[in-house]
């Protein structure tokens, strides 16, 4: 491994909202990689993955970064990454091969625990609740593919969503199109013909679905990312990644315990039409605020009052620290950090 130090120029944006300061800084990556997967471990430690088979991490809030290519996967699109407390790391290659790799020594060596070389396989994202994990893949023969593990990705079981899903697909824009709400409840979003939310209340054994108002109807549009928060809060973002059409790109639901007939509360808490045309990732800061990003820019939202600030900096993925005092970003050859300075901290 070779340690690479950032040499790009910091860009700075500062605003004051409710007596808080939000400082967004970005740097240029020293390698050619479009970063899509991200896992924020703590305030200073972030792992990420991207194109050309690159993964990397920082342990000092981005001042320096270590990056390297996975042997044998130098051309892979590594669209998602998960990091566990015991040093286990999982990375997901989207297609050709569609694969999941596992390391037990913090990335020094890797074992391929799932692999399909056929181009009909396309993996979009994975999520974990403790040691249990699920990965969503685009439909094969009209049915979404599900991969599930109970042992941190050592073994994967393949199953399919029973509902016929012609002209639907999921997106691997930031590896966040599937999410655990809690130990039993799982949701994933789709695009293409319809922007649907699929929900399971039994750990992925069965799913029900309903259509959302998020822009859809073309292969480039639909739900690209999900985020879950306290009190069963669920945010879905998307739009049209070509920028050809505008439409609703962020929607908020209150998750319901009911499975049938309505999988979510019917009361819409929040919607917006003035955010980015294309939202590829969402980072919840607290009960009231979220940051969204896409290739067209970055925005801070108060979930009841709407947009508070916009930056021109575009990213593919963002994720907040556990305590909500920083948000990390990454995109096409870029890496960034937003510091949130609160007077009561």
Task: Write a three-state SS string for the chain.
Answer: CEEEECCCCCCCEEEEECCEEEEEEEEECCCCCEEEEEEECCCCCEEEEEHHHEEEEECCCCCEEEEEECCCCCCCCEEEEEECCCCCEEEEECCCCEEEEEECCCCCCCEEEEEECCCCCCEEEEEEECCEEEEEEEEECCEEEEEEECCCCCCCEEEECCCCCCCEECCCCCCCCEEECCCCCEEEECEECCCEEEEECCCCCCCEEEECCCCCCEEEEEEEEEEECHHHEEEEEEEECCCCCCCCCEEEEEECCCCCCCCECCCCCEEECCCCCECCEEEECCCCEEEEEECCEEEEEECCCEEEEEECCCCCEEEECCCCCEEEEECECEEEEEEEECCCC
Question: Which domains does the chain possess?
Answer: 2-341 (2.130.10.10)
Summarize the confidence of residues 327-332 as an average pLDDT: 97
Per-residue pLDDT band at 288 (split at 50, 70, 90)? confident
**Residue in the block written with tokens 């697909």:** 169
Position 189 pLDDT exceeds 80: yes
Q: Say how far apart CA 200 and CA 204 lie, in whole Å.
A: 5
pLDDT of the residue at 50: 98
With 50 as the cut, is the pLDDT of residue 284 above it?
A: yes
Average pLDDT over residues 20-47: 92
**Are 85 and 106 spatial neighbours (Cβ–Cβ below 8 Å)?**
no
For 229-264, the pLDDT digits (tens) are 877 788 899 999 998 777 778 887 776 655 444 545
Residues 6 or more apart from 181 whose CB is under 8 A from it? 187, 228, 232, 234, 255
Which tokens hold the place of 344?
Answer: 């009561």
From first CA to last CA, the distance across the chain in angstroms is 37
Taking only the tens place, the pLDDT of each residue in 141-151 is 999 999 999 99
The mean pLDDT value of the chain amounts to 86
Q: Which residue reads 């999982």 in tokens?
A: 90
The residues, any chain, with a CB within 8 Å of residue 308's CB and separated by 6 or more, are 15, 17, 289, 299, 300, 301, 302
**pLDDT single digits (tens) 70-101:** 999 999 999 999 999 988 999 999 999 999 99
Residue (of 18, 20, 2) closest to 341 by Cα position: 20
Shortest CA distance to 76 belongs to which of 56, 57, 98? 98
d(CA 50, CA 73): 11
As a whole number of Å, the CA-based R_g of the chain is 19
pTM beyond 0.85: the answer is yes
């Amino acid at each position: 491994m070779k340690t690479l130090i950032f040499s790009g120029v910091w860009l700075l944006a500062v605003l004051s909202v409710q007596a808080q300061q939000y400082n967004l800084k970005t740097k240029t990556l020293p390698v050619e990689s479009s970063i899509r997967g991200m896992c924020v471990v703590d305030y200073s430690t972030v792992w990420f993955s991207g194109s050309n088979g690159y993964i990397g991490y920082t342990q000092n809030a981005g001042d320096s970064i270590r990056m390297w290519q996975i042997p044998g996967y130098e051309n892979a699109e590594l669209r998602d990454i998960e990091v566990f407390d015991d040093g286990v790391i999982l990375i997901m290659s989207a297609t050709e091969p569609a694969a999941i790799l596992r390391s037990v020594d913090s990335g020094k060596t890797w074992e391929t625990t799932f692999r399909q070389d056929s181009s009909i396989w396309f993996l979009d994202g994975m999520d974990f609740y403790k040691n249990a994990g699920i990965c969503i893949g685009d439909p094969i023969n009209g049915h979404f593919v599900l991969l599930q593990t109970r042992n941190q990705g050592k073994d994967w079981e393949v199953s399919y969503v029973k509902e016929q899903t012609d002209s639907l697909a999921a997106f691997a824009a930031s590896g966040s199109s599937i999410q655990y709400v809690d130990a039993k409840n799982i949701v994933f979003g789709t695009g293409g013909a319809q922007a649907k939310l699929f929900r399971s209340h039994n750990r992925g054994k069965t799913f029900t679905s309903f259509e959302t108002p998020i822009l859809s109807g073309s292969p480039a549009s639909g739900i690209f990312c999900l985020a879950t928060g306290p009190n069963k809060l669920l945010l879905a973002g998307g739009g049209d990644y070509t920028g050809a059409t505008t439409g609703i790109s962020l929607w908020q639901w209150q998750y319901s315990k009911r499975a049938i007939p309505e999988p979510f509360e019917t009361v819409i808490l929040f919607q917006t039409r003035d955010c980015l045309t294309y939202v590829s990732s969402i980072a919840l800061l607290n009960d009231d605020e979220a940051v969204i990003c896409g290739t067209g820019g970055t925005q801070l939202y108060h979930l009841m009052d709407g947009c508070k600030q916009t930056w021109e900096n575009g990213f593919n993925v963002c994720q907040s620290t556990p305590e909500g005092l920083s948000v990390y970003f990454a995109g096409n050859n870029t890496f960034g950090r937003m510091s949130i300075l609160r007077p009561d901290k």
